[in-house]
């Protein structure tokens, strides 16, 4: 089945074409105009989606050499995300599905991220433990089957990507700043200053980043000259604490629940230090650690298309009353 997928939940406008779940083409345009505001401006994002979506649709069709007449279903992100942004993608998806009289399916953005480690690792099979780390979410989910998810841990305050972004803004690195923080950290000494690791020494599988973020802000305020001379050292110390704040609860859960496979996904999964530390820790346990290529870590429509294709194959469809949902929870999520 040839699926056209559309993703407009936040500040990336994206479309993809998949054939039986394999990606034929995928195009992503990132809205850089939010950088100077230190965060996504919802109205600007909606307008950018309106301007970009049709050209991106043309591009993705041309890249795949699939004609619109040959598309057999449309998948679209329906949440969570910015409501105005979601509605732009949903409106186009409905128009195509209506004009061509083909099935429409709404997809949960988080579910898309969660399965994206499978693109380069087609043997990915449940059960596995999924660590999903993005700008808006930090979730630890036990994946027992497609659509059968158990919530093991989540952040009690900020998301992991949000902590990277807030520290980047404090340091004048713009938004989103995760990649810039990683780049500068590579030149720094992570032992120059130790920042607090969230939930360290505690039981359970939840995460916390607000103490770390505040500690960095306080350190910078109290030591302005050290900061200007040692920015990369401070960022390396922050990154190390952020990575350890993710590592500790994740590995506790990996050991406690007896999973043999860990996946990492979402924008923060692009972080090399996080990948390196988790690779070592999971290998030391004799387990398998899988993560997507860089292009599939941050928002894209390939992941939306893959989940849509799986749901369509299960006979699921949406009607034209499909709407966006800003706080859409992961479908089939059990709190255990």
Which spans of this chain sit near Zn ion (rule: CB under 5 A)?
134, 299
Least distance from ligand KG4 to the Cβ atom of residue 199, Å: 19
Q: Where are the beta strands (DSSP E) in the chain?
A: 2-7, 12-19, 22-30, 73-79, 104-108, 128-133, 138-145, 148-154, 261-265, 288-290, 333-335
Least distance from ligand KG4 to the Cβ atom of residue 162, Å: 6
> HSE on the CB side for 81, CA within 13 Å?
29
Nearer to Zn ion, 134 or 263 (CB): 134
Least distance from Zn ion to the Cβ atom of residue 80, Å: 9
Beta pairing partners, 240: none
Of 45, 301, 253, 246, nearest to 132 (Cα)? 246
Nearer to ligand KG4, 96 or 299 (CB): 299
Tell me the three state secondary structure of residue 91: helix
- Binding residues for ligand KG4, rule: CB under 6 A, are 10, 134-136, 161, 164-165, 176-179, 182, 266-268, 270-271, 298-299
Nearer to Zn ion, 84 or 196 (CB): 84
Residue 8 binding: pick among ligand KG4, Zn ion, none (C-beta 5-8 Å cut-off by kind): none
Write b or e for each residue in 50-71: b if 16 or more Cβ atoms lie within 10 A of its Cβ, otherwise e.
bebbeebbeebbeebebeeeeb
User: Can you tell me the distance from the alpha carbon of 228 to that of 141, in angstroms, rounded to the nearest whole number?
Assistant: 40
Least distance from ligand KG4 to the Cβ atom of residue 92, Å: 20
Nearer to ligand KG4, 136 or 188 (CB): 136
Nearer to ligand KG4, 61 or 168 (CB): 168
Least distance from ligand KG4 to the Cβ atom of residue 161, Å: 3
Q: CA separation (Å) from 55 to 28, 60, 177, 287?
A: 11, 9, 27, 43
Residue 305 binding: pick among ligand KG4, Zn ion, none (C-beta 5-8 Å cut-off by kind): none
């Amino acid at each position: 089945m040839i699926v056209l997928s559309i993703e407009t939940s936040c500040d990336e406008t994206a479309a993809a074409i998949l054939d039986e779940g394999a990606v034929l083409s995928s195009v992503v345009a990132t809205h850089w105009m939010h950088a100077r505001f230190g965060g996504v401006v919802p109205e600007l994002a909606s307008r950018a989606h309106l301007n970009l979506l049709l050209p991106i649709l043309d591009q993705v069709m041309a890249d795949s050499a699939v004609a619109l007449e040959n598309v057999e279903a449309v998948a679209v992100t329906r949440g969570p995300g910015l409501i105005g942004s979601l509605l732009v993608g949903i409106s186009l998806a409905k128009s195509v599905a209506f004009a061509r009289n083909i099935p429409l399916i709404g997809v949960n953005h988080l579910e898309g991220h969660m399965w994206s480690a499978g693109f380069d690792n087609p043997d990915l099979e449940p059960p596995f433990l999924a660590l999903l780390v993005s700008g808006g979410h930090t979730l630890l989910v036990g994946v027992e089957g497609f659509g059968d998810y158990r919530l093991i841990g989540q952040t009690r305050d900020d998301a992991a990507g949000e902590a990277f972004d807030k520290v980047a803004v404090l340091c004048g690195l713009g938004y989103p700043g995760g990649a810039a923080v990683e780049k500068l950290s590579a030149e720094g000494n992570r032992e120059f200053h130790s920042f607090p690791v969230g939930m360290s020494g505690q039981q359970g599988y939840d995460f916390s980043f607000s103490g770390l973020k505040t500690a960095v802000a306080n350190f910078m305020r109290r030591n302005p000259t050290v900061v200007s001379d040692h920015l990369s050292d401070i960022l390396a110390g922050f990154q190390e604490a952020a990575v350890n704040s993710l590592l500790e609860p994740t590995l506790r859960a990996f050991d406690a629940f007896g999973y043999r496979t860990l996946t990492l996904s979402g924008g923060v999964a692009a972080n090399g230090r996080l990948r390196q530390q988790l690779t070592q820790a999971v290998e030391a346990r004799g387990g398998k650690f899988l993560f997507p290529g860089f292009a599939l870590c941050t928002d894209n429509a390939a992941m939306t298309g893959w989940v849509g294709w799986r749901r369509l194959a299960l006979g699921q469809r949406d009607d034209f009353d499909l709407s966006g949902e800003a706080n859409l929870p992961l479908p089939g999520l059990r709190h255990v």
